[in-house]
Amino acid sequence: MTEPRDTADRHTPVMLARCVELLAPALEVPGAVMVDSTLGMGGHTEAILTAFSGVRVIGLDRDRQALELASRRLASFGDRFTPVHAIYDEIGDVVRRQLGLPSVQAVLMDLGVSSLQLDEAERGFSYAHDAPLDMRMDPTTGLTAADVLNTYDEADLVRILREYGEERFAQRIARNVVAARARAPIARTGELVSLLRASIPAVTRKTGGHPGKRTFQALRIEVNGELESLERALPESIEVLAVGGRIVVEAYHSLEDRLVKRAFAAGAQSSAPLGLPVEPETHKPYLRLVTRGAEEASEQERESNPRSQSVRLRAAERLRPTPAHLLGRSS
């Protein structure tokens, strides 16, 4: 079996057919370009390149290993696929400066941790395997999860556990982390899981899923600055869309989905002051919501692909350029 096929076997893209369907009207434009802002192992991109013979895809990922594996998988598409080492909030710079394009017809964002990162035990993303506490999507830069656990003060630990993990027992966990690291640095996922089991009441562990789920999510988000990056990436992604272009975003927890919902809603409503008898053209919505609320995976997909269980998919279409007054420019 070749490595590209092995890569495909390791990853089942979430809501793949629906993503292709939602992006299709934008990708049928001659010479269409799509940015896959979260390339991962290339499953969504492969489907797009296969379905639309004239489309070119720019694949962004901060994980060099993912870029390498996806590039091998997609090698048969030649120059229709371009890999770029970048975080998705750099999309504007990549499209306009690095590639010299004025705009693109589609943007796809499949947020959160990738199957590759979860499968590579030594990356430290999974609470199911004992490994160094790393969790960096780009393992060449930035703080690790161990750095966070061993250097943040108790109040900051409580904050990230509550905000990013929605962890009920954040105070107790943070207190126990501080006590444990005073004896020896917390270095491995197994150590953290043991600490979490001791911190979360047994009755809660019986019904609340794995005790590491929320804390590992919170640490991953903090280590990779995921919410800050997403908050910057959403307006950047909308701004690179040509009129008629579409953006599809798959989010996997409420914090991500809230940011997506807010960004799309802001573009889909009038910015005109209340009470005006006629809505000025410059205040009309610049986005149209393509999905009604957030769509979920089918029951069949949730059963066959565990990663799809929490997905929330939203899509929007570019109607017109963003009004200048909303971009901080004078009208």
What is the DSSP code string of 222-289?
A: HHHTHHHHHHHHHHHHHHTEEEEEEEEEEE-SHHHHHHHHHHHHHHTS--SPTT-SS--GGGS-SEEE
- The amino acid that residue 242 corresponds to is A
- pLDDT above 90 coverage of the chain, percent: 76
Q: Is 42 annotated as a binding residue?
A: yes
Q: Is 61 annotated as a binding residue?
A: yes
CB 48 within 8 A of CB 27: yes
Mean pLDDT value across the chain: 90
Given a cut of 70, is residue 6 above it in pLDDT?
no
- The amino acid that residue 27 corresponds to is L
- The amino acid that residue 160 corresponds to is I
SS (H, E, C) 37-82: CCCCCCHHHHHHHHHCCCCEEEEEECCHHHHHHHHHHCHHHHHHEE
Question: Given this model, what pLDDT does residue 203 score?
Answer: 72
Q: Which of 63-67, 83-87, 155-159, 161-165 has the lowest mean pLDDT?
A: 63-67
Question: Given this model, what pLDDT does residue 84 score?
Answer: 97
CA angle (126 as vertex; 122, 107 as ends), nearest 5: 100
Nearest to 69 by CA among 45, 98, 51: 45
State the DSSP code for 101: -
Q: Do domains 3-116+227-326 and 121-224 have the same CATH topology?
A: no
Please indicate whether residue 276 or residue 130 has the higher confidence score (pLDDT). Answer: 130
Asked if CATH classification 1.10.150.170 holds for the domain at 121-224, the reply, yes or no, is yes
Q: Is 283 annotated as a binding residue?
A: no
Give the span between the Cα atoms of 236 and 79, in whole angstroms. Answer: 25
CB 96 within 8 A of CB 240: yes
Give the span between the Cα atoms of 312 and 16, in whole angstroms. Answer: 13
- pLDDT above 70 coverage of the chain, percent: 88
Q: Is 88 annotated as a binding residue?
A: yes
Question: Given this model, what pLDDT does residue 329 score?
Answer: 45
Give the span between the Cα atoms of 191 and 131, in whole angstroms. Answer: 9
Residue 118: which pLDDT band, with cuts at 50, 70 and 90?
low
Residue 181: which pLDDT band, with cuts at 50, 70 and 90?
very high
Overall average pLDDT of the 302-328 stretch: 90
Residue-wise pLDDT tens digits, 188-218: 999 999 999 999 987 776 665 688 889 999 9
Asked if CATH classification 3.40.50.150 holds for the domain at 3-116+227-326, the reply, yes or no, is yes
Give the span between the Cα atoms of 161 and 180, in whole angstroms. Answer: 17
Q: Is 110 annotated as a binding residue?
A: yes
CB 13 within 8 A of CB 38: no
- The amino acid that residue 146 corresponds to is A
Nearest to 314 by CA among 291, 296, 331: 291
Residue-wise pLDDT tens digits, 167-177: 999 999 999 99
| 125 Rama class: left (phi>0) / alpha (psi -120 to 50) / beta | alpha
Rg over alpha carbons for the chain, rounded to the nearest Å, is 21
CA angle (303 as vertex; 192, 264 as ends), nearest 5: 80
Domain ranges of the chain: 3-116+227-326, 121-224
Give the span between the Cα atoms of 58 and 276, in whole angstroms. Answer: 43
Neighbours of 210 (CB within 10 A): 15
Q: Is 129 annotated as a binding residue?
A: no
State the DSSP code for 188: B
Tokens 């279409």 sit at which residue?
317
